[in-house]
Amino acid sequence: MAQEVKGQVYLALHNDVRPQLFIENSTNVAFYCGETLPDDSSVVAECEHFRWHCRIAPFSSVHYSTPTLSGKFPELPQVSFAQKVSLAYVSTEGRNIEWSAGVSIVNNNDLFIRVPHYGDVKLTIINTACTTILTLESVSQVEISARDIRVRLSLRETEKTTSLYKDFTPLSADDHRNVMAGSSGSSVSNSEMVPISQWNLDISKRKTEDSSARLLAVSSKVKDLLVKTLPLKEGWESIEATVYVKSFGITLLTDTEEDSDERWELASLICDDVVVTAKQTEQLTVQISLSDIQLDNQLYARQSFDFPVVLIGQERRARNRLNILSTPIETLLASCPESALIITDLVLDTWANKAAGKTHTGVKTMKVTINPISCFIEDIYLTRLNQYMKDLNIIHLVIWPSQQKLLQIGPNSRSVCVPELIAWQSALLAKPLTIRTLVVSPVSLLLSVHSSMKMFIALDQSPLQFGKFERRRLFTTSYRLGHALTMHYLSGAIFGAGWVVSSLELLGSPGGLARAMGTGLRDFLSLPYRGFVQGPMAFLRGRCIH
């Protein structure tokens, strides 16, 4: 990666643990791979002033990232897009490269593609959490089953039948009787005739079966890359674990006030009926659900705040009176409401980095469902809470030296002084956030906001509806993802400004009004008394002096 600061370019090299493509060539010839242009005319140029393309040697494997993905990083991709690659074969050096038709790598698939000057090649596409695996095999090495042949023949018959239907002319009644009389001598069993709808059903079933068994059909190299997140013992096909927590709470305390030695609470988070289910088969699926969640403002009783609660679900849920110590976990799970307040579904993949000797786990699919919630916000409370949270920053717990030791670099040294900002940014960009599918369901929010900075602004019980947030094949940073989420919900709040303005109240600050009234009443009582006392004394003092 390259970064420029004050006209100087810094190049940083890092081991890419999340490559976009892993291409394995199981044939005895070399192929070239490139990203297809939108019009399928050629491939995208890898770089300027150089003619270079990704080359996969015979019986070898390479990692490859498309130039479009590298050029747009860390920008988020569009909601719907088509990412295609093309293959080429060059038998003679210096010969112009002719590329095959573009093949979409967005979904899992196995298909035959025609490579110019070579012939048919079988391409298998497997999408994992971060890396898309492509395997190339010669057609001669592929065993084509009789079922595949029947499906292809059925498709051809379908095309012929469709073309005949286009030229079909309805018969008259007499012609229809003649045809029925002529066909009475020949008998054809209805069981031998397969309807078109049944062909389509067989094809869809075949795709489903191939999709589930595709991981078992890949080569040994690919199998070595994909490992199970939770290791299974020999003979085990799956493992499933369920954790149920009746309730837990987190309370934030403070003792940082200088004029008090007492500890008092700032905020309290309560979560009820927390269920975590994990199942390991070929992939690890995890579901986390919370029946109810509540964030309380613990300063409400101590100080003058408007809202005792910050976050809570809109629906009132009946309390479960079961004794968790004597109740089977199946009964506890059955007693949990099906429509929990927050449900998170995750699909995790783990792959091995043979070069570094490590394994990496990534999120392949993440879906978050949030049922209607109510939010009560006060700017004064959030400001106070933010100040206390800053004290919990781990950086403030480190004792830094009073004087920094500077490294002196001589004129003949090969070392280069890298700015601290460049080093931090390079470390963050070297480990991007990769998620195959991220979906946040539509959110219904009942918002109440009180602000007292200059004017008292109140939004009470204002309904807001936020649309679904969906992104696929994420390759970005956590900052960019957070920015995209913020803009998504901020735009939703702006579009819902009609409901917000209807409940908007603009008043003078009640706190300022109370302070003004208190000051005026104090002055009304104290200033006349001060005048009666200080006036005669000042008169006598003046007469004595003069």
pLDDT of residue 207: 42
Pick from 127, 227, 212, 211: nearest CA to 472: 127
Of 4 and 267, more confident: 267
Residue 140 reports pLDDT greater than 70: no
pLDDT of residue 498: 52
Determine what percent of the chain is predicted with pLDDT higher than 70.
67
Rounded to whole angstroms, the Cα distance separating 114 from 105 reads 16
Pick from 459, 450, 484, 480: nearest CA to 469: 484
pLDDT of residue 188: 35
Rounded to whole angstroms, the Cα distance separating 237 from 233 reads 9
Residue 439 reports pLDDT greater than 90: yes
Q: Which residue's entry shows tokens 């110019």?
A: 116
What is the tens place of the pLDDT at every residue in 25-45?
Answer: 988 899 999 888 888 788 888
Pick from 459, 541, 469, 464: nearest CA to 501: 459
Which amino acid, 87?
L
pLDDT of residue 174: 46
pLDDT of residue 1: 76
Determine what percent of the chain is predicted with pLDDT higher than 90.
8
Residue 315 reports pLDDT greater than 50: yes
Instruction: Please tell me whether the overall predicted TM-score, pTM, comes out greater than 0.85 for this model.
Output: no
What is the tens place of the pLDDT at every residue in 213-263?
Answer: 444 445 555 666 778 888 888 888 888 888 888 889 999 888 766 556 677
The strand order across the sheet containing 109-115 reads 60-64, 21-25, 132-138, 119-127, 109-115
Pick from 340, 334, 241: nearest CA to 293: 340
pLDDT of residue 158: 55
Of 125 and 166, more confident: 125
Pick from 406, 517, 499: nearest CA to 459: 499
Which segments of 47-172 does DSSP mark as H helices, in order?
67-72, 146-166
CB proximity list for 424: less than 8 A, separation 6 or greater: none
Pick from 243, 318, 240: nearest CA to 278: 240
Domain boundaries, the chain: 239-395+418-507, 511-546
- Determine which of 31-40, 168-177, 481-490, 529-538 has the lowest per-residue pLDDT on average: 168-177
What is the tens place of the pLDDT at every residue in 322-332?
Answer: 677 777 777 77
* pLDDT confidence tier of residue 410, bands split at 50, 70 and 90: low
Residue 481 reports pLDDT greater than 70: yes
Q: What are phi and psi of 413, to 5 degrees?
A: -75, 145
- Determine which of 143-147, 369-373, 421-425 has the lowest per-residue pLDDT on average: 143-147
User: And the tokens for 166?
Assistant: 């286009």
Q: What are phi and psi of 352, to 5 degrees?
A: -105, 135
Rounded to whole angstroms, the Cα distance separating 230 from 219 reads 22
> Helix 196-217 crosses helix 146-166 at what angle (to 10 degrees)?
150
CB proximity list for 284: less than 8 A, separation 6 or greater: 228, 229, 230, 278, 347, 348, 349, 350
Which segments of 140-270 does DSSP mark as H helices, in order?
146-166, 173-182, 196-217, 220-225
User: Can you count the helices (H) and strands (E) in the chain?
Assistant: 11, 24
* pLDDT confidence tier of residue 525, bands split at 50, 70 and 90: low
Residue 125 reports pLDDT greater than 70: yes
Break the chain down into helix, strand, coil percent, rounded to 5: 30, 35, 35
Q: What pairs with residue 18 in β-bridges?
A: none
Rounded to an integer, the average pLDDT of 522-543 is: 68
Residue 367 reports pLDDT greater than 90: yes
User: And the tokens for 261?
Assistant: 């030695």
Query: Is-contact 438 464, C-beta < 8 A?
Result: no
* Cβ count near 295 (within 10 Å): 16
Query: Is-contact 103 84, C-beta < 8 A?
Result: yes
Which amino acid, 191?
S
Average pLDDT of the chain to the nearest whole number: 74
Rounded to an integer, the average pLDDT of 73-98 is: 77
What is the tens place of the pLDDT at every residue in 267-280?
Answer: 999 998 889 999 98
Q: Which residue's entry shows tokens 């595949």?
A: 148
Query: Is-contact 480 73, C-beta < 8 A?
Result: no
